[in-house]
Amino acid sequence: MTRPCNDSFLRALLREPNEHTPVWLMRQAGRYLPEYCETRKRAGSFLQLCKNPALACEVTLQPLARYDLDAAILFSDILTVPDAMGLGLYFTDGEGPRFERPLREEWAIRDLTAPDPWDHLRYVMDAVAEIRRALHNSVPLIGFSGSPYTLACYMVEGAASSDYRGIKGMLYERPDLLHRILSVTADAVAAYLNAQIESGAQAVMIFDSWGGSLSSVAYREFSLYYMQRILDRLIREKGGERVPSIVFTKGGSLWLEAIADSGCDAIGVDWTIDIGEARRRVGHRVALQGNLDPAVLFASPDTVAAEARKILDSFGPGQTTGHVFNLGHGISQFTPPDNVAALVDAVHQHSRMLRQRSE
Amino acid sequence: MTRPCNDSFLRALLREPNEHTPVWLMRQAGRYLPEYCETRKRAGSFLQLCKNPALACEVTLQPLARYDLDAAILFSDILTVPDAMGLGLYFTDGEGPRFERPLREEWAIRDLTAPDPWDHLRYVMDAVAEIRRALHNSVPLIGFSGSPYTLACYMVEGAASSDYRGIKGMLYERPDLLHRILSVTADAVAAYLNAQIESGAQAVMIFDSWGGSLSSVAYREFSLYYMQRILDRLIREKGGERVPSIVFTKGGSLWLEAIADSGCDAIGVDWTIDIGEARRRVGHRVALQGNLDPAVLFASPDTVAAEARKILDSFGPGQTTGHVFNLGHGISQFTPPDNVAALVDAVHQHSRMLRQRSE
């Protein structure tokens, strides 16, 4: 396995020097792109789009055709794993994902088993392999999964929740049951990410969308601990190249030091923390990924570029690595596509300029 | 003016020693109480309940009749100020508050003026006075307002929002317009809180529900700065007694040091930070209020008591002041009322025990 032609993303994650700060955007293949909406329409539904490797490959590549992005990310849903566990994922218009059979009964929790990703999640592995072929080693491909706690939120609640009544009631009253769910789910996620790596993913990211809703103590016990268990079991090298890992807990900036100790190569940070401060707190143990407020993309291209430059300046003008530029959360469907071009160009230009200046 | 019989809440805010840790709960007069639901039904609507001083007084006192709480808080809505500015507040079932005339046009923003609280918000002052009479100086009464940024979120969006597209677009593209809204709103809130103090409020709290959705830099410029302006103008003493102030930015624990410098007497903290760590970060400059995860109240009374004790232990076993126990957010409507009794009793008993042990 050789590194892609543009390996700036992998170099940043591994804290190797690079010529510019790489940039990609969470949910970069998404509804703000008209071509995505068209493919989705053709697929019939979001879930059919995820489960069709050819179409998943098509939408994965769409943002790369438009913008000079430094990484591709597998197009999929974070809830594929619980779906493969038999919970019956479906989507309702405007209400997001739901499960037909949420985990409510003790017997169902005891019966839960980790699915074989090569069997029940074959369509994901096929998509990874197809995307890798289509990329022709131009940029690296990121695989991903939801974190065990985030998946458990949906599995117990049956849908997105505003108060997490079900799962938090369980966390405080029956922690044994929640640990059982998390333990099986961590096994499933580790196998799932490793299968993605075997299929061609060159880096992996764990999305912990809801860990930030926990107390400091509960975060460590119910979210971070299980991400750590996954990281411990990941394939760390493939074909002589390290496969770096990124952990992103939205709302987790209070706990950066603990996350940095988890064994990940990089931490995704949302926009609430100054990235320079984040860097001072974690030092050079890990790389950082982030952290523009996605709402900046509702402004004009000039403002977008100016705000991007502020983040690069804050990270440190003399820094030639350790930073992957991204948003602090997924891109909004209401983003004007031209603003993404302005963002990508500003990151590349300004980061090159900073490197020249510091030489 | 003399202090109330039970002044443990005021003593904690002013960092004076007290015999137990005081406790009250955000939204303590609310839908989890059947008697509240009955009064609200009688009132006709939530807004009619807020605007009727006799009924607002009735619901304010309900939780105090049930539980041994150490403070009362004015029953009202955070959006009374923009309503008095002429935006036309109304409520839709299940969708929360909305404004008939959100701030979308530059001319409307230029025309915005701060309302005289004695005129347009007279019903709030009447409620404050009536509650004070009804309390017979048993416990202190807290007045409150939304923060300028939080009010502006609703004023610009016209309703609660998931992505704050309107206000953040304005923040990044037309900061001059947002500063104009915030400046007028800060004037209005300062006058509103001062009128509450004149009417009998013995402490005031600023609820910054949405400041936590800002970047670190934007929080200081668009939320904290205007809260500071309000704090600078507050009546700090009434009848020889200091009127303490509390600032609560939900999701603001990254910025505790900056909030502590704002001139407030206490910081409200949500449950994502360990309260002992919060205390180490701000020292004894300010008191802290918080921070049980409201979801703990979905568990059993024993678990509720155990989790409350953990917070008291974390704050510091030798501490005889500087802590007001509260939830990290408003109490859920799904809370079993008996759990609140378990919580209040656990806070009082355990905090008394800790004081005895450290003597």
- Check residue A1 and give its pLDDT: 60
Can you tell me which residue has the tokens 């670190």? B216
User: Among this protein's residues, is B352 annotated catalytic?
Assistant: no
Question: Which two structure tokens, joined as six digits, stand for A129?
Answer: 């392999």
Contacts of B303 in chain A (CB under 8 A): 172-173
Query: Which residues in chain B touch residue A274, judged by CB atoms under 8 angstroms apart?
Result: 215-217
Q: How large is the average pLDDT for residues B116-137?
A: 97
pLDDT in tens, A9-63: 999 999 999 999 999 999 999 999 999 999 999 999 999 999 999 999 999 999 9
Q: Are B148 and B223 within 8 A, CB to CB?
A: yes
As given in the structure block, the two tokens for residue B6 are: 């039970």
State which residues of chain A have pLDDT below 70. Answer: 1, 359
Angle at B73 between CA B70 and CA B75, to 5 degrees: 145
Check residue B298 and report its DSSP letter: G
Which chain A residue shows the shortest CA-CA distance from B292? A215
Cα gap A79→A211, rounded to integer Å: 16
Active site residue A309: no
Summarize the confidence of residues B38-46 as an average pLDDT: 94
**Residue A271: which of B165, B215, B296 has the nearest Cβ?**
B215
Residue B356 sits at the chain A interface (C-beta within 8 Å): no
Question: How many Cβ pairs closer than 8 A exist between chain A and B?
Answer: 96
Q: B241 near B202, Cβ under 8 Å?
A: yes
User: How far, in Å, CA of B116 to CA of B118, rounded?
Assistant: 5
Say if residues A14 and A242 touch (Cβ distance below 8 Å). Answer: yes
* Residue of chain A with shortest Cα separation from B218: A272
Inter-chain touch A293–B253, beta carbons under 8 Å: no
> Which of A27, A98, A132, A355 is an active site residue?
A27
Look up tokens 């049951």; give the residue: A177
For residue B181, which of B223, B211, B215, B232 has the smallest C-alpha distance? B223
- Residues of chain A in contact with residue B305, where contact means CB-CB under 8 angstroms, are none
Q: In chain A, whose CA is at the least distance from the CA of B335? A: A165
Please indicate whether, in this complex, the C-beta atoms of A215 and B293 are within 8 angstroms of each other.
yes
Place of tokens 């959360």: A329
- Find chain A residues with C-beta within 8 A of B209's C-beta: none
**Is A357 among the residues known to form the active site?**
no
Establish if A161 touches chain B: CB-CB under 8 angstroms: no
Q: In chain B, which ranges are continuous DSSP H helix? A: 8-13, 34-43, 46-51, 53-66, 80-82, 106-111, 117-120, 122-135, 148-157, 165-173, 175-199, 216-218, 225-233, 256-260, 275-282, 301-315, 337-358
Which residue in the set B172, B216, B303 is minimally distant from A303, CB to CB? Answer: B172
Q: How many CB atoms lie within 10 A of CB A1?
A: 12
Closest Cα in chain B, distance from residue A252 (Å): 9
B12 pLDDT tier (thresholds 50, 70, 90): very high
Do A173 and B272 make contact, defined as CB atoms within 8 angstroms? no
B267-315 residue pLDDT tens: 999 999 999 999 999 998 999 999 999 999 999 999 999 999 999 999 9
User: How buried is A20 (Cβ within 10 angstroms: 0-12 exposed, 13-18 middle, 19+ buried)?
Assistant: buried
- Check CB contact under 8 Å for B168 and A300: no
The Cα of B215 is separated from the nearest Cα of chain A by a number of Å equal to 4
Tell whether B298 is within 8 A of chain A (Cβ): yes
So what CATH class is B8-358? Answer: alpha beta
- Comparing C-alpha atoms, which of A82, A117, A264, A139 is closest to residue A196? A117
CATH number of the domain at A8-295+317-334, out of 1.20.1260.10, 3.20.20.210, 1.10.8.60, 3.40.470.10? 3.20.20.210
pLDDT in tens, B176-217: 999 999 999 999 999 999 999 999 999 999 999 999 999 999
- Please report how the helices B275-282 and B301-315 are oriented relative to each other, as an axis angle in degrees rounded to 10: 20
Q: Do B173 and A299 touch (CB under 8 A)?
A: yes
Q: Is A31 a catalytic residue?
A: yes
- β-pairing, B72-73 with A237-238? unpaired
Placement of tokens 């037909």 in the chain: A100
Instruction: State the catalytic residue, choosing from B3, B66, B68, B77.
Output: B77
Chain A residues lying within 8 Å of B277, measured CB to CB: 216
- For residue B291, whether the previous peptide bond is cis, meaning omega lies within 30 degrees of 0, is yes
Q: How confident is the model at residue B93 (pLDDT cuts 50, 70, 90)?
A: confident
Q: Active-site residue B110, yes or no?
A: no
Given A7, A32, A36, A40, the catalytic residue = A40
Distance CA A303, CA A346 (A): 11
pLDDT of residue A317: 73
Express the helix, strand and coil content of chain A in percent, nearest 5 each.
Answer: 55, 15, 35
pLDDT at B163: 83
Give chain B positions within 8 Å (CB) of A172. Answer: 295-296, 298-299, 303, 307
Task: Name the nearest CA neighbour of B302 among B326, B330, B338.
Answer: B338
Domain boundaries, chain A: 8-295+317-334
Give the confidence band of B1 by pLDDT, cuts at 50, 70, 90.
low
Determine whether the interchain pair A251/B254 forms a contact, defined as Cβ–Cβ distance below 8 Å.
no
Q: Are A54 and A130 in contact (CB under 8 A)?
A: yes
Catalytic entry in A154, A192, A219, A226: A154
If you write DSSP's letter for every residue of A29-52 in order, what string do you get? SSTTSHHHHHHHHHHSSHHHHHH-
Q: pLDDT above 90 covers what percent of chain B? A: 92
Burial of B301 (0-12, 13-18, 19+ CB in 10 A): middle
